[in-house]
Amino acid sequence: MSKVLVIKAHPFNGDKSRTIKTLDTFLETYQAKNPDDEIESLDLFATNFPELDGSMMAAWGQLANGTAFTDLPADVQKVMGQFNDALAQFKAADKLVIANPMWNLSIPAQLKSWIDAITVVGETFRYTATGHVALLPEKPFVHIQAAGGKYEGQDLGTQYVQAALEYLGAKRFAKIGVEGMDHFPDQADQIVAAAQEEAKTVASKF
Ligand SMILES: Cc1cc2nc3c(=O)[nH]c(=O)nc-3n(C[C@H](O)[C@H](O)[C@H](O)COP(=O)(O)O)c2cc1C
């Protein structure tokens, strides 16, 4: 039995979002094929996933200097707790599915914040004299991203998500792009349908 972690980086559901529509198709197929697997979702918008800011960085310094977690201000404990929970959840997962729209040539800020939460020296990577070492075994991940234009993997979001996850030892299994609906609105339905078919194929092999 595998534990699959789904990172939902979109504020809408499949009725409004082509990213999430494709994700839903992926998960339906995956669950049907792997009924015993546990699928856990983290909805970055619904949970108001926090960003790395000055108070959190200052608190890291305090913890390193011996301050107890419970002596940190309550609001800092809350956001740091979300970061810590995300890290533990990521480490415990056997496989990952990340779904986000392209926004302004990049990923939503909340997804960047989640990547900040899981990229922790000593936990998911470490530094050595000869460079960095990824600490996680090869966790396969699937990246689903919708974009208004066509990029075919040559966009910053796709390349960043792959680089950031592989930095920690994860390994991209597939990228499913739902691309071109805004540039070719008359083809939008076919583009989404084709992405859903691709999602079924990838899910049945994942
Ligand atoms: C705030 C915002 C920024 C966007 N920026 C881009 C962009 O830089 N390039 C692009 O091709 N499409 C861009 N789009 C279009 C979306 O990527 C496209 O509509 C995609 O389908 C969004 O995913 P969704 O259908 O899951 O919401 C943007 C859309 C929004 C709302």
Q: What is the mean pLDDT of the chain?
A: 97
Q: Which two tokens stand for residue 202?
A: 């990838």
Region class of 102: left (phi > 0), else alpha (psi between -120 and 50), else beta: beta
Does any ligand 1 atom lie closer than 6 A to the CB of residue 192?
A: no
Q: Is 60 annotated as a binding residue?
A: no
Give per-residue pLDDT as tens, 48-62.
Answer: 999 999 999 999 999
CA distances from 96 to 24, 75, 83, 139, 174 (A): 14, 29, 17, 7, 11
Does any ligand 1 atom lie closer than 6 A to the CB of residue 100?
A: no
Number of structural domains, the chain? 1
Structural domain range at position 16: 3-205
Give per-residue pLDDT as tens, 77-104.
Answer: 999 999 999 999 999 999 999 999 999 9
Return the CATH number at 76: 3.40.50.360
Between CA 81 and CA 69 the distance in angstroms is 10
Q: Is 105 annotated as a binding residue?
A: yes
* CA angle, 164 then 168 then 170, to 5°: 85
